[in-house]
A and B are shown apart, each in its own frame.
Chain A
Amino acid sequence: MKEHDDELDCSGLNCPMPVLKTKLKIDKMDAGKVLRVITTDPGACNDLPAWASKVGHEILSNCEEGDKYVFYVKRGA
C-alpha cells in the first residue's frame, strides 16, 4: 500500500469505464496528487497507461492484488 490522496474503485467495470471514471475523478484533484485506482479489467493494464501518457499524468506503479489490478496515478500539471 503506497501513499495516495484519493481512491477510485472500478471493480466490475469493463472498458472504457475505468479510464473514463479515472479521468473524471483526477480532473477534480490538484496537480501532483496521487489517485489509487482499483480495477478488475485486465484491459485496463494497457489502457490506463496509454491514457495517462496521452494526457500527461504519471502511472507511479501498478500491481496485482489478488484478482484486482491497482494503479497509482499521479496527476500532471
Chain B
Amino acid sequence: MSEKKKMAIIASQGTLDWAYPPFILASTAAAMDMEVKVFFTFYGLPLLNHKIKAKVSPSSNPAMPMKMPFGPKFFQGFDWPIPNMVSGNLPGFETVATSLMKKTFKNKGVATVTELRDMCLELGVEMIGCQMTMDVFGFEKEDFIEGVTIGGAATFLDFASEADIQLFI
C-alpha cells in the first residue's frame, strides 16, 4: 500500500454557504483514506465553536439566487429579484435568508454543517485553530469542540508542503 495522500485546507470564511465546502471536502477526502488537516483562520475560526451560528450574508453574494423552499415547483424555481440595496440594508433580511437556505438544504437532503463537522471528527480529520485569530477575536481553546489543535502559519505550511492537495477556501 502506497503512502496516504494528504489534503490541506484553509477555511477562512464564516458564512453558512462558505462553511460547507471545507467540511464536505475534508470528510470525503478522509473517507477516501486521505490524511486531512483543516486550518481555521479569520472568519472561519468560529466554525470550531461548540455551536455553529453561521448565517448567509446576501449582501456579499451578489449572485446568490433567492429561492423559496416551499410551494409548487414553479414557485420554488422562481428566482426572486431582490436588489442588493434592499437585501443588504433591510433589518432581519440575513436571518430570513439564512432560515430559507437552511430549509432548502434540509428539503434537498443536505446535511447540516454541524453534522458534516461531526463526520469529519469521526473520520479522523484534524482541525487546527489559528492562534493569532484567537488572540485577535478573543477566543479561548475551551470555546472550541474537543480535539481541536492550535497552531499558526508554520504548523499549516509544514503539513501543506507535503500535501497532494492544498485549498484555500
Contact = CB atoms under 8 A, between A and B. Distances in A.
Interface of A: 12-17, 19-20, 23-24, 40-41, 51, 54-55
Given A20-B123, A23-B123, A24-B122, A14 B109 contact: yes
Given A54-B33, A55-B33, A20 B28 contact: yes
A63 B58 CA distance: 40
Given A24-B122, A54-B33, A55-B33, A19 B110 contact: no
Nearest to A13: B109
B27 A16 contact: yes
Interface size class of B (residues with CB under 8 A): 10 to 19
Interface of B: 24, 27-28, 31-33, 108-111, 116, 119, 122-123
Nearest to A14: B109
A15 to B, nearest CB: 7
A20 B109 contact: no
Contacts of B31: 16, 19-20, 23-24, 51, 55
Given A12-B109, A14-B110, A20 B33 contact: no
A7 B32 CA distance: 20
Contacts of A51: 28, 31-32
Given A16-B31, A24-B122, A51-B28, 5 more contacts: A13-B111, A16-B24, A16-B27, A17-B109, A20-B27
